[in-house]
Amino acid sequence: MPDSAQPVTPVTFPPAFLWGAATSAYQIEGAIREDGRTPSIWDTFSHTPGKIAGDDHGDTAVDHYHRYRDDVALMAELGLTAYRFSVSWSRVQPTGRGPAVQRGLDFYRRLVDELLDKGIKPAVTLYHWDLPQELEDAGGWPERETALRFAEYAAIVGEALGDRVENWMTLNEPWCSAFLGYGSGVHAPGRTDPVAALRAAHHLNLAHGLGTAALRSAMPARNAVGVSLNTHVFRPLTDSPEDAAALRKIDDLGNGVFHGPMLHGKYPDTLFTTTKSLTDWSFVVEGDLTLIHQRLDSLGINYYTPTLISAGDPDSPAPRADGHGDSSHSPWPGADDVRFHQTPGERTLMGWTVDPTGLHELLMRWTREVPGLPLYITENGAAYEDKPDADGRVHDPERIAYLHGHLRAVRRAIAEGADVRGYYLWSLLDNFEWAYGYEKRFGAVHVDYETLARTPKSSAHWYGQLARTGALPPLATAE
């Protein structure tokens, strides 16, 4: 159903609703060799010729490491009430093991203090894809040891920041870490082994469980611990039984592989059936599911676009329109007989369909599946061709329309009973967009990559008006 046809719902949000923006360390910080930081898998991957568009890398990114005070001042000027950022593991614990480097922790201490001074609530994500390279050299996420190391790292950061940061997330989009990093190879570390991808998924689950317990041991009891998942919205191409079976298979691989153990303490039985030709899952040790199934204080939802699914012929390959990059290796182990189709409609610069109904669908799905669990939109946004005009201003009416539609969907879900506590726009700043380099701009704030000057786009002013009033502004650019 198009957004314009949605039922009329209130356009004001609850008074305590958090209005934030999100970033990740490797995409914005730069300073990759300062204060004891050592390479992560994304440093290595981005410096491998041909892996990143334009052979770009995050060596400088947008230099947030040195400009964080200005960036926080800009958030305050816009009226944001929350900021979600990730910690660079290799900046805090350079080898992925052993004692912390205090100079690295001090950066995050200063950042948190700056945010609190400006009345902005910090939210920390411990892991946003940048595994220390030394841990990858020892086997990476396919090895159980990496999950144990993550728990130690979680305790270090929790002890350092837990007295001032109340909102925590263990992992960001572990599906991407496992299946794009070890399956299709379009993300770091660039491996293409379906069994390694499944092993990585389990050990990321284990890292979440162990990390959650470590955080709670290191921090005040008042703090909330959750996880941010890129819960996929899959829809069948037709109502045929074959397409329904294909949908079940992909929902297990895209959603159930993480939601099952984290939220319900078990993997879907049908996931084992789909992947039985690849592995017997003997890497799941007795007691693991109990360790993974920790109490969550919230669930973070990252949403961008839905995907259509149909049955196909495994012997007749077809282009895989799943929106997860180009590779001859699939991120969907055991699902060569499934076809992916783009949904019709307007598209962003990423080629992703603009469809706010998918966000509403997700919020209601988790409201039914885990009633009583607070929800946050921890990522939602769009890339467009944003360029300054002759006066240096950046008008992005497409992004305003995108945000307006998706926030209407959030408000509709709240009206229907979803306990949504906040929204983090992706992203605060234009930045290094992983395998796309600097070609795709998701930021509400434009960054000139030559001078690193920041210019709030029209969408930033529009969003700031919403953050200050709690009322959805009209679909006109705000200045």
Q: Which residues are catalytic?
A: 173, 379
- Cβ neighbours around 415 below 10 Å, total: 12
Amino acid of residue 377: I
3-state secondary structure of 80: coil
Give yes or no for a contact between 143 and 131, defined as CB atoms under 8 angstroms apart.
no
Task: Tell me the C-alpha distance between 79 and 247, whole Å.
Answer: 41
**Residue 403 φ then ψ, to 5°:** -65, -40
Cα separation, 415 vs 399, in Å, equals 24
The Cβ-side half-sphere exposure at 10, using a 13 Å CA radius, reads: 9
Contacting residues for 440 by C-beta, under 8 A, at least 6 apart = 349, 350, 383, 433
Is there a contact between 195 and 278 (Cβ–Cβ < 8 Å)? yes
Q: Which residue has the tokens 């408000």?
A: 411
Tell me if 424 sits within 8 A of 19, measured CB to CB.
no
- Rounded distance between C-alpha atoms, residue 146 and residue 206, angstroms: 9
